Amino acid sequence: MAGIVAVFDFDKTIIDCDSDNWVVDELGATDLFNELLPTMPWNSLMDRMMKELHAQGKTTEDVVEVLKRIPIHPRVIPAIKAAHALGCDLRVVSDANLFFIETILKHLGLSDYFSEINTNPSFVDEEGRLRIFPYHDFHKSPHGCSLCPPNMCKGLVIERIQASVAEEGKKKFIYLGDGSGDYCPSLKLGDGDYVMPRKNFPLWDLMCKNPLLIKAEIHEWVDGEELERILVGLINKISIQENAQFIPADCKLQTISVSAREALPHALPVQQ
């Protein structure tokens, strides 16, 4: 089952909310966030919010404690563990940031299940303030994709992953997401791949406008329970298809003649 790469968005896919909004709301900075939102890109705003929260005396430990309380559907963790146990290469592609994602995955005991996290870089500086930066430096080298926010084109990330695994042979991709930023990478998937949009979320809405643009097979989901059932079902489906390729086409079931059956050892009676 090494032939499947499952790529997860993070916010509202693995966890059940937006991690940026969760931290801002829980630390009491919602009003300032909403005031500044029209003035700068989201990613830049989150870096600014970490500066404001630090100035108010909030520490990275406060942020960590908030992240540990983040809501997640109880079936998502078993789904991730099941996909990993079935041999899938699991990766994260998210417009959140590395500090938030690593903190949450560590708290949930999921850090070792993902081979790669693609997201906006972040680190704690010498003053103890969390800094958040764009995945693509849109000031120096904009990615040029009109579908994606300036700080991250997930489509470019998917293309890089596709190229990196191509040397290992044909891989099938399963992409799970919910937001408008997940539309571009969904367009990069091909025949034989699968995309799992969260129903009635922006990705689903965009796909419904012109589903023929999506080459991958579409399987919508509503909550963590459906995510688990559909994801594991698709992995098993791909596994059956892969195994079927190794069965010779002219393989036929052969009947055993009466004389051959008589030559087989007889069952021994159970002593009473």
Three-state DSSP state, 131 = strand
- Tell me if 9 is assigned to a ligand binding site: yes
> How many CA atoms lie within 13 Å of 8's alpha carbon, on the beta-carbon side?
29
What sections of the chain are H helices per DSSP? 19-26, 30-36, 42-55, 60-67, 76-85, 98-108, 154-166, 183-187, 202-209, 224-244, 258-263
Q: Annotated binding residue at 47? A: no
* Euclidean distance between CA atoms 55 and 53, whole angstroms: 5
11 is in an annotated binding site: yes
Assess contact for 221 and 199: CB atoms under 8 A. yes
Query: Active-site residues: which are they?
Result: 9, 11
Residue 220: DSSP 8-state: -
Three-state DSSP at 5 gives: strand
Burial (CB < 10 A; 0-12, 13-18, 19+), residue 88, is buried
Q: Which of 87, 92, 83 is nearest to 115 (CA)?
A: 92
Residue with tokens 């899938």: 88
Retrieve residue 127's tokens.
């003053």
Which positions make up the binding site for Mg(2+)? 9, 11, 178
